[in-house]
Structure 1
Amino acid sequence: MAYQGVILDVDGTLILSNNAHAEAWVEAFAEFGYEVKFTQVRPLIGMGGDQIIPKFVPGLSDQQGKGKQIADKRKELIINKFSKELTPTNGARELILKMQSVGLRLIIASSASSQELSVLLKAGHIDDLLSQDEATTSNDAESSKPAPDIVQAALDRLNIPASQVVMLGDTPYDIESANKAGVDVIALRCGGFDDDQLENAIAIYNDPADLLTQFDSSPLAIQAITTA
């Protein structure tokens, strides 16, 4: 069955921001007296703060107390410091335009907050292509990836059966989240995870440009042929 919709992850998929998120977590934890190394937190990027914070400080929550202060500091660092260094992944804008041109409906599913997402889309030079009004963020989910909440919220907004939707992501948490919601995933290596970690994706490409180059033989090609 042809795919009718694509759920888009942002960090690591459309914007080279995963390392920045890890650095922001390191700084945020340090400000409140916790030593967390880059190498410890980097493999967890793709999860939200509700998942990451208690892994390093059991008992803390990103919703209250010191845990919330850490989460807020990380967001502040991304918005005010690291966003200046962010760049789009190779071919991100062109791939979005291609998917739109063949009639695929696109929606964002990100663990970022709405405020943070706005900054990220501008950094990726794609804020004019993707409507934040149609995005699902941490505000729409009780639990972040790898829980299915954010993907399910995106499905609900698309109002398309899960079997006709595919997700574009870059982390094993995207894949786990989407699969729990019954959605296939096309994975990209540009987020920094290796193929073994992305093995449950239906296809793996280097980055958006690689997927665009191979679009006609990709899982999205049936949709492209159908609407051509």
Structure 2
Amino acid sequence: MAFPIVDRPAAATDTSTPVRHAVIFDLDGVVVDSFAVMSEAFAIAYAEVVGDGPAPFEEYRRHLGRYFPDIMRIMNLPLAMEEPFVRESYRLADQVQVFDGILELLLTLRVRGLRLAVATGKSGPRARSLLDRLGLLPFFAHVIGSDEVARPKPAPDIVRHALNLLDVPPERAIMVGDAPTDLASARGAGVASAAALWAPLEDVGELLAGGPDVVLHRPADLLALCPAVPAG
């Protein structure tokens, strides 16, 4: 018995979806579950730089998708927190988990001929190091960090850069993210956006209010939007 695996917003009436040639992924909350590691690294950095008291990780998490220094500025926290946060993130990287279904998704997309990239709020070196450690780096033609573009998310620069590197026009790509900043970056670049709901989210309503083109409940749902790329 057939059943729907993708929720489309009610306002979406155009069913003529172009064949996708590329998928651009956010990293944290989409490909990897790194929230526990982030929380510990953030707490250590806060204690070292700010001092005693509870680290405001829940507020930090609401800004995920942005570049770490930008989050510090938004939260009025010292930029000096970046060094211990990055140090601890590297130290704890072995504790990061790949979401169930992601490996199978990446394998299938590659077999179907799609080109894959990561556009993340992390720095490029840290993102590539983590993916390499997890054995996922070979799946991605490009991994772009927020330190490698002029304006990080929610600006469209990182998605446009990914498109240029992939040599794919905006209408032939889709971006998968779990934060409003991801959706805004995709929209600004003229790329369709998919909201990923397989990670525990603090505010699903805020993500959906960002106006994703589609909503995905599990990684395999993306396959309905990404058939095999025609040969030739």
Aligned pairs for 1:1-228 (under 5 A) are 1-33=18-50, 36-57=55-76, 67=79, 69-80=80-91, 82-131=92-141, 134-193=142-201, 194-199=203-208, 200-208=211-219, 210-211=220-221, 215=223, 218-220=224-226, 223-224=227-228, 226=230
User: Secondary structure at the residue paired with 1:111?
Assistant: coil
Name the amino acid aligned to 2:120. Answer: S
User: Secondary structure at the residue paired with 2:144?
Assistant: coil
Q: Provide the alpha-carbon RMSD of the alignment.
A: 2.2
Name the amino acid aligned to 1:115. Answer: P
Q: What displacement does 1:28 show? A: 1.4
Higher helix share: 1
**Aligned counterparts of 1:119 and 1:207: Cα–Cα separation in 2:** 25
**Aligned counterparts of 1:163 and 1:189: Cα–Cα separation in 2:** 23
TM-score, L = length of structure 1: 0.82
Is contact 1:190-1:207 (8 Å) kept?
Answer: yes
**Aligned counterparts of 2:229 and 2:114: Cα–Cα separation in 1:** 12
Q: What displacement does 1:226 show? A: 4.5
**Divergent runs of 4+, >4 A:** none
**Aligned counterparts of 1:142 and 1:87: Cα–Cα separation in 2:** 30
Deviations 1:61-88 (A, max 9, x none): xxxxx51x311221111101x2121110
**Aligned counterparts of 1:206 and 1:154: Cα–Cα separation in 2:** 25
Name the amino acid aligned to 1:219. Answer: L
Q: Unaligned 5+ residue runs, structure 2?
A: 1-17
**Aligned counterparts of 2:156 and 2:43: Cα–Cα separation in 1:** 26
Q: What displacement does 1:92 show? A: 1.0
Deviations 1:85-108 (A, max 9, x none): 111011111101111111111112
Name the amino acid aligned to 1:31. Answer: E
Q: 1:29 to 1:147 in 2, by over 3 A?
A: farther
**Aligned counterparts of 2:229 and 2:128: Cα–Cα separation in 1:** 33
Is contact 2:183-2:212 (8 Å) kept?
Answer: yes
**Aligned counterparts of 1:22 and 1:142: Cα–Cα separation in 2:** 27
Q: What displacement does 1:175 show? A: 0.9
Q: What displacement does 1:162 show? A: 0.8
**Aligned counterparts of 2:143 and 2:186: Cα–Cα separation in 1:** 16
Q: Relative to structure 2, which stretch is displaced further, 184-193 or 45-54?
A: 184-193
State, as a whole percentage, how many aligned pairs show the same letter: 26
Is contact 1:21-1:45 (8 Å) kept?
Answer: no
**Matched length:** 209
Q: 1:202 to 1:168 in 2, by over 3 A?
A: same
User: Secondary structure at the residue paired with 2:83?
Assistant: helix
Is contact 1:195-1:204 (8 Å) kept?
Answer: no
Higher strand share: 2
TM-score, L = length of structure 2: 0.80
